[in-house]
Amino acid sequence: MVKVIVESWEPGFIAVRFNQFLRERTNLGLAEAKRKIDGLLRGQHFEVTLADEQLASKFVADANELLARCYVEESCS
């Protein structure tokens, strides 16, 4: 499992589009995804866990296109 940290957003970020993206790429429900995005808009970061490095890298690239800034958390092992 690989963690992705969603840390901020840039002007032009559209919360509804990112909510749909987040639900499609994770197992989050509508309410949970909305809570995470609302926190992000208030300056709080959050993390999502994905199955492997390839999915995590794709998530980061696609999220960046939606103006959400995130990164793959480095493994401690």
Instruction: Please answer whether residues 65 and 4 qualify as being in contact, where contact means their C-beta atoms are separated by less than 8 angstroms.
Output: no
In the numeric block, the tokens 């957003």 are attached to: 9
pLDDT band for position 13 (cuts 50, 70, 90): very high
CATH topology of domain 2-72: Ribosomal Protein L30; Chain: A, (3.30.1390)
Domain range list for the chain: 2-72
Tokens of 59: 């998530």
CA–CA dist 36, 44 (Å, integer): 8
Share of the chain above pLDDT 70, in %: 96
**For residue 76, is pLDDT > 70?**
no
| pLDDT value for 44 | 97
**Residue 77 — pLDDT band, cuts 50, 70, 90?**
low
**Number of neighbours of residue 73 by Cβ within 10 angstroms:** 13
pLDDT digit string (tens) for 19-51? Answer: 999 999 998 999 999 999 999 999 999 999 999
Give the closest residue to 46 by CA, choosing from 73, 24, 76.
73
